Structure 1
């Protein structure tokens, strides 16, 4: 797998006319990007379509590319913007966000993953139950406000730092902390509701 430094070299080579370098980038990021978009919209077919649109924009923007940050940060920012545009369409808007990003919060980066892991240990080793857990988490993710969902997905599933997430979303690090804090609060409430109403737990 090519590294971040090699990503930049590949993109610069692609900008200079080396299409084979674009194929290397596509091979590395296609599946992770589809997964990222899928966790945002919850529809595999549309996630694949959006991922294709992301790479199409990368292809068309090759002459404008400047390596000011990690290539993956630039790529995920394009993906995040397309996802946000997707959510703005009335047919796709499940939940409107009215959140303020100004509230101070306590930083707690790994809270949600440990909560999900701890809760999962209490369930029986059953494929159907595990599927239900995954569906519950996905349903809760989809109902989060747009920026909260993107921030949480980038943090938990893509292992992006707070700084990288702030660059992708175009906001401050403190705003990212606030987004993550409130998204975890919402997921925790939904998870506790699930455990309370599921007799197998």
Structure 2
């Protein structure tokens, strides 16, 4: 289990509204119970989402989504930079939420009956899939070498971000930033290919 650091015991109830760059004033504490994490980050997460033009109800839902994602991997996460970890998960949840909202607005959201058998793709669909894959590979090749290396290590070799940081001799925050940039660029490539 990793370490969750807290600044000043009881001197500040809330962390900042985003990832923190500064080193903790006190030595790291052992990873707290999940309830302590929820208590510390609930209000900052709500503010984080509301400042990004998310309604109050959706901000509550997204905050719960962040805690659900964290709870599923709580014991396996590296807690050396808790602000960065929590707000990276929050940013990913926000991207997923916005994508879902866009797809609903475009009328592309279709409920699928799981009982229906899957059809084989048509030749046109297969060709379009190959073209999207080519755009994705091209976008991966266009990434900064460090961002590409981080993405490959974390997504294809299943390394944690901490392991990738050690292998590439980078800080964990640099790896987190490279991963966020890589995901954003690849998301753009997928959406551009999908719209074409």
Instruction: Report the TM-score, using the length of structure 2 for normalisation.
Output: 0.40
**Which has the higher Rg, Structure 1 or Structure 2?**
2
TM (norm. structure 1) is: 0.39
Higher relative contact order (CA 8 A, sep 6+): 1
